Structure 1
Amino acid sequence: MTDLRESSVPAVVDGLPQRRRLVTEIPGPRSRELHARKLAAVADGVGTTLPVYIERAGGGVLVDVDGNSMIDLGSGIAVVNVGNANPRVAARVSEQVQRFTHTCFMVTPYAGYVEVCEALARLTPGDHAKKSALFNSGAEAVENAVKIARVATGRDAVVVFDHAYHGRTNLTMAMTAKSMPYKHGFGPFAGEVYRAPMSYPFREPAPVSGVEAARRAISVIDKQVGADEVACVVIEPIQGEGGFVVPAPGFLPTIAQWCSENGIVFVADEIQTGFGRTGSVFACEHEGVVPDLITVAKGIAGGLPLAAVTGRAELMDAVHVGGLGGTYGGNPVACAAALASIESLEQDGLAGRAAAIGETMLARLAELAAKHPKIGDVRGRGAMVAIELVTPGTTDPDPAEAARISAACHQQGVLTLTCGTFGNVLRFLPPLVIEDALLAEALDVLETAVAGQ
């Protein structure tokens, strides 16, 4: 296959040309060989969006084992915000690996864990005293936030929202809204989890302000649970897997204020939205919301597994000694990666870069929506943007069209992801270091795919 579109002088990031270049079909022969091995050795329950096997990545591109260079609009699901193989991250990780790889912080501690917690206290919203505990995954962080809230309040009930995604453990599956593939067949689930209606502007039958939507949710909670029974409200400031749902302005502050008035712990799940992704370091900052607890993972460590709960010191300290932790939580190599990733976020101005990416993408996608009524909604903040596909003239979800467009992008060397409760949303999560020309080319490919050409 000839190259589809290749800049004569592509930008180069850390020795990797920033270009889209296809030299085989997608997936190519070596990827197909590896995928056959995957099918034989890996459990079928572990799915794969696009079976191209990557051997190198950086900037805004992924290079597979067949030599194809694809534009990355997924960032490993909002993980490599600072870019894949970020030089600062690679250097700090290499240094740490040569010194030691593990001791278990609960046995013999080390400075990196403390330094990450200090950075989180500085970066997260609010100027109150804060403490943190480090874990391995987003689901683990959410589960520990619930544990902390329950101990601190002496209450049991956990409130989450329609379209939420919080993880794959037993408790976080109960907190997650979507059944297939996350919950189907895995019950029974943990109890004392209650669901309230979300602010989803595109799917409201009539215009509802954020404050009105919050009052609707509060009414449901009051009637079905009772405020004095609620330990915590857990919410994604912008929902991720549920469809990149951005609540109407006023929704989050109203919920947070109600929590404060009723002794309820307000937990912001910023696992997908954090670390510059939405144009601020944390998405809560867009409306001045200061959570009691905040859960983070994904973008914190440049691709290494690390997660955290950060919150008000008095809440974090409510748990007895030994009640929080885990063998690998706050692994020294992951902590080194996190410190380097945070350094890149701040020194390279990546939150501002995300805002600029968002302006570019939202403008282009709005133009595309104006031409194609199948695009029912364009939404997002910063470099966390989505389009929702519908039957033209209706709000009826069209997951088949979302899947077709995504597959067409894949065939032309642009990695895209779908999401949403109805499977009809295309989400875009480019690395915050992506080159402008590469982003523009990806949007050109998307435009052609939407048109069906």
Structure 2
Amino acid sequence: MQSYQIPGPKGTAVLDLQEQFLSPSISTPMPLIWESAKDCIVTDVDGNRYIDFTSGVLVTNTGHCHPRVVKAVQDQAAILLNCYDSAHPLRSKFVEKLASLMPEDLKRVLVLSSGSEAIDAALKIARVSTGRQEVIAFDNAFHGRTFGGMSVGGMVGSKAGFGPLVPGILRASFPDYYRMEGTEEEIDARCLANLETVLKTQSTGSVAALITEAYQGGAGSIIPSKRFVHGLRDFCKRHDILLIFDEVQASFGRTGRMFAFENYEIVPDVVVLGKGIASGLPTAAVVARRSVMDGLKRGSLSSTYGANPLSCAAGIASIEVIQQENLAHRAEVVGKKMVKRLNEMKERHRFVGDVRGMGLALALEFVKDKQTKEPDPEFTQQFVRELLQAGLSAMAPIGRFGNVVRIAPPLTITDELADEGLDIIEGVLQRH
């Protein structure tokens, strides 16, 4: 197995310069210093090549620098870069394309710049639409770093020191089948019953919405059952509450469907989109039922860079690539094969406590002991660094205990390259 020096001399120089001027508030960087990327291969500034199991944190679903996306951006850049929120043909085409992907009357689209910005917008829309103020959110959720996103987030790491937060957030339990006691059905029943308790004990009777991730990404890629999500849909209908589905990291083919809510066979009232929407151009969107969004006053929600021509060009091209190359189906097929191999590794290696996955949104949870399930964040950090040294780009550890590694290659990955990446994972595990 190869072994890279990471960072190399050029990478070290980049980091040294960065440390002098860049805010220390950014996420702890992995020592891989990107220079270029093509499809599923990343090259660092020292010339080392890596299989990418990150997709730039679940962004480049179409692969890095897909030729059709690159050409769409290059062509548009020579014509028009920005026109504030004035109408232009690509904006009309982009929102029409997004709306065409949605079921029922989810046909109103607000295009913005980032997932966090879109979460804030969704919360504002819910308040205006219902005339109510409270929002139910889940323990361990992550919804971004704006004040709205932090407030509905359920982990301290993203909001420590930034209080006070937005008032009116009610907190509920989210099912974690690996760490909660009982059967999957029993855990779902307890968590759904907890929602009724939240209404009775935390609310002032003014709940506008319930917000949930399609799966809890930052908490460790925790995937709820279809039963639980159906329970959420039923709960919201019974209590006249809007269901907001945060699909910032789960949409555009990542989970084996164009949108993750399709896996659960429900239709939310509001869907928040980002990351994979435009293959790397800063773009996000809120899509809502007409009845939810049509009450907004003209000019009440807009953005300087939302729906700018470059983002729209990249978004249209990305959606067309995902559709025409059948990448959602590709994610489902390759994801199942990868989960099978990862589960085989779990049986052979003592550190692997759990394997989770939906499409190409996969995760490994590392523990010191499979019986006690004690988290092992130290090994997880070491594991990710050894993967890099062996030529596999992985994200920094996530989860409540810092003991989960996400596996999320571009949806264009071949069977051969997926196997090569898994061989590297197994090779690192075999050292321990």
1:280-330 C-alpha deviation (Å, 9 max, x unpaired): 111111121100000000000010000000010111111111111111111
- For the residues of structure 2 that align with 1:165 and 1:237, how far apart are their CA atoms? 11
1:202 to 171, 178, 182: 178
Report the alpha carbon displacement of residue 200 of structure 1 after superposing the two structures with TM.
1.0
- For the residues of structure 1 that align with 2:231 and 2:261, how far apart are their CA atoms? 13
Residue 399 of structure 2 is matched in structure 1 by 420
Measured on the aligned residues, the alpha-carbon RMSD in Å equals: 1.5
Q: Is the 8 A contact 2:11 2:46 kept in 1?
A: yes
- For the residues of structure 1 that align with 2:106 and 2:171, how far apart are their CA atoms? 31
Alignment partner of 1:193 is 2:173: no
- For the residues of structure 2 that align with 1:267 and 1:342, how far apart are their CA atoms? 22
One-letter amino acid matched to 1:315:
V
Residue 11 of structure 2 is matched in structure 1 by 31
Ranges of 4+ aligned residues in structure 1 off by more than 4 Å:
none
Alignment partner of 1:329 is 2:306: yes
Further displaced range: 220-229 or 143-152: 220-229
Mark the CA change 1:227 to 1:451 in structure 2 (over 3 Å): closer, same or farther: farther
- For the residues of structure 2 that align with 1:123 and 1:323, how far apart are their CA atoms? 26
1:448 to 413, 421, 427: 427
Report the alpha carbon displacement of residue 385 of structure 1 after superposing the two structures with TM.
0.5
Report the alpha carbon displacement of residue 111 of structure 1 after superposing the two structures with TM.
1.6
2:96 to 113, 118, 121: 118
Q: Is the 8 A contact 2:106 2:270 kept in 1?
A: no
Report the alpha carbon displacement of residue 403 of structure 1 after superposing the two structures with TM.
1.2
Report the alpha carbon displacement of residue 423 of structure 1 after superposing the two structures with TM.
0.9
TM-score (norm 2): 0.96
1:76 to 56, 60, 63: 56
Q: Which runs of 5+ in 2 are unaligned?
A: none
- For the residues of structure 2 that align with 1:212 and 1:447, how far apart are their CA atoms? 37
Report the alpha carbon displacement of residue 129 of structure 1 after superposing the two structures with TM.
5.2
Residue 52 of structure 1 is matched in structure 2 by 32
- For the residues of structure 1 that align with 2:422 and 2:276, how far apart are their CA atoms? 23
TM-score (norm 1): 0.92
Q: Is the 8 A contact 2:123 2:148 kept in 1?
A: no
One-letter amino acid matched to 1:70:
Y
1:383-410 C-alpha deviation (Å, 9 max, x unpaired): 0001111121212211112112111101
Further displaced range: 112-121 or 349-358: 112-121
Report the alpha carbon displacement of residue 145 of structure 1 after superposing the two structures with TM.
0.4
Report the alpha carbon displacement of residue 48 of structure 1 after superposing the two structures with TM.
4.1
Q: Is the 8 A contact 1:163 1:243 kept in 2?
A: no
Residue 145 of structure 2 is matched in structure 1 by 168
Mark the CA change 1:227 to 1:75 in structure 2 (over 3 Å): closer, same or farther: farther
- For the residues of structure 2 that align with 1:51 and 1:448, how far apart are their CA atoms? 20
Residue 15 of structure 1 is matched in structure 2 by none
Mark the CA change 1:260 to 1:352 in structure 2 (over 3 Å): closer, same or farther: same
- For the residues of structure 2 that align with 1:351 and 1:323, how far apart are their CA atoms? 35
Residue 434 of structure 1 is matched in structure 2 by 413
Aligned residues: 429
Task: Give matches, 1:222-301, under 5 Å.
Answer: 222-226=199-203, 228-301=205-278
Residue 142 of structure 1 is matched in structure 2 by 119
Among the aligned pairs, what percent are the same residue? Answer: 36
Residue 10 of structure 1 is matched in structure 2 by none
Mark the CA change 1:211 to 1:46 in structure 2 (over 3 Å): closer, same or farther: closer
- 3-state SS of the aligned residue for 1:57? strand
- For the residues of structure 2 that align with 1:410 and 1:141, how far apart are their CA atoms? 33
Further displaced range: 30-39 or 397-406: 397-406
Q: Which runs of 5+ in 1 are unaligned?
A: 6-21
- 3-state SS of the aligned residue for 2:231? helix
